[in-house]
Amino acid sequence: MKILIGLIIIAIGAFCQSSSYVPINKIKKWSWESYWIVQGVFAWLIFPILGALLAVPEGHSLMELYAADPKATLLTMLFGVLWGVGGLTFGLSMRYLGVALGQSIALGTCAALGTIMGPVLLNIFFPELNALQSLTASVIIGVIVTLIGIAIIGVAGGMKSASLSEEEKKEAVKDFNFPKGLIIALLAGFMSGCFNVGLEFGKGLNFGELTDPMFRTLPATLLVTIGGFVTNAIYCFYQNSKNHTWSDYKMGDVWANNLLFCCLAGILWYSQFFGLSLGRSFFEAGGTMDTLAFCILMALNVTFSNVWGIILKEWKGVSNKTIVVLILGIIVLIVSTFLPQLLG
């Protein structure tokens, strides 16, 4: 029963994340780089700080926590910087493939690599932790099934690309470009996997028994998102200069509207990792479900993003066969979230 509760909490967070790009459609007049960094202030700074503070008992501070283990702190933030590259290309993948297909390919790659790379790299830097023991047969099978589900959805995306005319593709996704989008999505997935690597390096950054188990991963989450914010800020401000879009921030008539929807997008996005922290507290620490929690989150993100893709009519005009393949992929992803427990 505890495992089911944990999965439900993670699923709620995944649904929120998959919905986070819907408010962005309500943003007016701003260029991509302007709204991306403003929503990032909420998603990667404000809400993660508030979340991390929940893990700090009275009489202590976050800086005290980070200063106690500078090596883990720096490595966690470093992988956050690398994840930031994935965050940038992640947005571009949806620009060229749409919400459904872009998130499917990027998050699928992220799910697999993030789950595997975490213990592997942790074992290199901290061999005394014996992190590789978490990569059990159940974990590997769970990752493989997730990748199969992603691959099936990718096939559906290829069928969509082949069956629609250029005009129909543009109608569903304005800048649709499958080859370009595929390359960007794979890069986004690889770099985004660094998020879970960062969480692995920072999993000891809490106050132990003084911190509620539900909030123990949130200080590490903050470090990762700060690193990602730095990467995104540098790129977005560069784009502001290159495209002469600094004037976006001077549009007083849209600030109230855009700030509201950037804030909404930010809290929805952060909800996935807040939910991940809460959900993992219902799993056995270091067990199969705990190790696969990040992979499960990404699989559910893909599932819900494709639901949104259908709602937003990104699959409009495709054949029934393509829809069947898409639904099959979603079913496989749903099964992958429960399979590890059944195998265990």
Question: Euclidean distance between the first and final Cα of the chain, in Å?
Answer: 15
The predicted-structure confidence for 73-89, as pLDDT tens digits, reads as follows: 999 999 999 999 887 78
Q: What percent of the chain has pLDDT over 90?
A: 42
The predicted structure's pLDDT at residue 166: 60
Alpha helices in the chain (DSSP H): 2-19, 32-40, 47-53, 62-68, 70-125, 137-163, 166-172, 178-192, 194-201, 218-242, 252-280, 288-311, 320-343
Tell me the HSE value of 297 on the side-chain side, using a 13 A CA sphere.
30
Predicted pLDDT at 167: 65
Mean pLDDT comparison of 19-23, 140-144, 223-227, highest-scoring range = 223-227
Per-residue pLDDT for 321 more than 60? yes
At residue 301, φ and ψ (nearest 5 deg) are: -60, -45
- Look at residues 148, 185, 115, 163 and name the one whose alpha carbon lies nearest to residue 330: 148
Mean pLDDT confidence for 50-63: 94
Say what the pTM is.
0.81
Res 185: pLDDT:
80
Q: Give per-residue pLDDT as tens, 254-285.
A: 999 999 999 999 999 999 999 999 999 998 87
Residue 321 burial (CB < 10 Å; 0-12/13-18/19+)? exposed
Q: Which residue has better confidence, 331 or 128?
A: 331
pLDDT of 139 reads 77
62 token code pair: 């976050």
What pLDDT sits at residue 188?
Answer: 81
The pLDDT assigned to 340 comes to 63
Average pLDDT, the chain: 85
